[in-house]
């Protein structure tokens, strides 16, 4: 504990610029703070402060040591806060940003969370806008892709698998492609990204230099629900995320195409601002979402694999019957 008190005396002095102010903050005398810093310097074998009758300033070694000590004390504060909060009922408001099309993916998990933690108020914002959590006062965000913001903590969530599919009626009329090259001359229902206006590519693995399939676009929409509706009605083939395709694949209104050529799932993370004494409401939400979404993802992967294999067998049967 003597070494810990020395670290605290050093950090407070570095932050406040004097032994007197550090003593007031710690409830100690200026003399006790000064002696604690001196003992620490003796233990380390380096001078942490340049002292004069009028000023106190960090040495180069002191600046480096302060950064490390600050992180250590922050972790200690966080650990103590975690223990003190462990018996508290999590409560309060949680502001959460999620991708616009993801409400069907998260709906059942969010409802289950609300049942388990009725004292937490969820304020949900479904938007494709890249929210600055710190500037806009958000507590948590669900994001896809890489996470360049170093101010955020994160945990990886199960990825979303894009699925290429079409209605049985469409496939009976235009045929079922067995390779990416056979997509040529098919009708396509395409999704347009709201942020940049680009069209979503077909989610297929292709060799380097391979061209995009030459399809004829019959509809473009920046709403995935609209894309799915057009696919179910048989207007063309197109790409939707696995969680939107699940029910339609299960009831047979859509068939999975080129399952063996699909690219890997998109990465997805849950992020929150890096903070000392992370609130219990954020902790329980992050833990709950990660656990439940992994369970749902395992079930979804099994369902998707089963339905896509069924679709492949059905396509082969249609081809034989037509032949």
What pTM did the predictor assign?
0.61
List where CATH 3.40.190.10 sits in the chain.
92-158+267-299, 162-263
CATH T-level fold of 92-158+267-299:
D-Maltodextrin-Binding Protein; domain 2 (3.40.190)
Q: 62 — phi, psi (to 5°)?
A: -65, -40
Which SS3 state, helix, strand or coil, does residue 140 take?
Answer: strand
pLDDT for the residue 218 = 96
CATH architecture of 2-85: Orthogonal Bundle (1.10)
Q: Does 2.60.40.10 match the CATH number of domain 162-263? A: no
Question: What are the tokens at 35?
Answer: 């002696």
pLDDT for the residue 210 = 72
Give the mean pLDDT of 81-101. Answer: 76
Average confidence score pLDDT of the chain: 84
The percent of residues in the chain predicted with pLDDT above 90, rounded, is 28
Residue with the larger pLDDT of the pair 83 and 159: 159
Q: How far apart are CA 39 and CA 34, in angstroms?
A: 9
User: Helix, strand, coil proportions of the chain in percent (round to 5)?
Assistant: 50, 20, 30
Is the predicted pLDDT of residue 79 greater than 80, yes or no? Answer: no
State the maximum Cα–Cα separation within the chain, in Å, rounded to a whole number: 99
Give the mean pLDDT of 55-82. Answer: 79
Inter-residue contact 271 to 251 (CB < 8 Å): no
List where CATH 1.10.10.10 sits in the chain.
2-85
Give Cα 270 distance to the centre of its chain. Answer: 3
Question: What are the tokens at 25?
Answer: 């903050």
Angle at 186 (CA atoms; ends 181, 188), nearest 5 degrees: 110
């Amino acid at each position: 504990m003597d070494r810990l008190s020395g670290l605290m005396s050093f950090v407070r002095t570095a932050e406040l610029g004097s032994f007197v102010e550090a003593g007031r903050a710690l409830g100690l005398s200026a003399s006790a703070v000064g002696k604690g810093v001196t003992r620490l310097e003796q233990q380390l074998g380096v001078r942490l402060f340049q002292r004069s009758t009028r000023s106190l300033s960090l040495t180069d070694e002191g600046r480096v040591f302060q950064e490390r000590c600050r992180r250590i004390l922050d972790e200690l504060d966080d650990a103590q806060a975690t223990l003190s909060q462990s018996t508290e009922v999590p409560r309060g408001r949680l502001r959460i940003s999620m991708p616009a099309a993801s409400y069907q993916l998260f709906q059942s998990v969010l409802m289950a969370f609300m049942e388990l933690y009725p004292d937490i108020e969820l304020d949900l914002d479904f938007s494709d806008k890249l929210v600055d959590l710190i500037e806009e006062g958000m507590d948590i965000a669900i994001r896809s892709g890489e996470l360049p913001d170093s101010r955020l903590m994160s945990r990886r969530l199960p990825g979303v698998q894009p699925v290429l599919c079409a209605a049985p009626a469409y496939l009976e009329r235009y045929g079922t492609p067995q390779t990416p090259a056979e997509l040529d001359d098919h009708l396509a229902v395409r999704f347009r990204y709201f942020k940049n206006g680009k069209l979503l590519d077909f989610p297929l693995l292709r060799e380097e230099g391979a061209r995009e399939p030459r399809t004829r676009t019959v509809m473009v929409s920046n709403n995935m629900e609209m894309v799915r509706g057009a696919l179910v009605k048989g207007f063309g083939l197109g790409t939707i995320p696995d969680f939107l395709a699940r029910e339609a694949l299960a009831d047979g209104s859509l068939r999975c195409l080129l399952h063996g050529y699909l690219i890997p799932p998109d990465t997805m993370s849950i992020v929150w601002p890096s903070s000392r004494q992370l609130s219990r409401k954020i902790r329980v939400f992050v833990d709950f979402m990660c656990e439940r979404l992994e369970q749902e993802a395992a079930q979804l992967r099994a369902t998707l694999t089963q339905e896509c294999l069924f679709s492949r067998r059905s396509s082969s049967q249609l081809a034989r019957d037509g032949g």
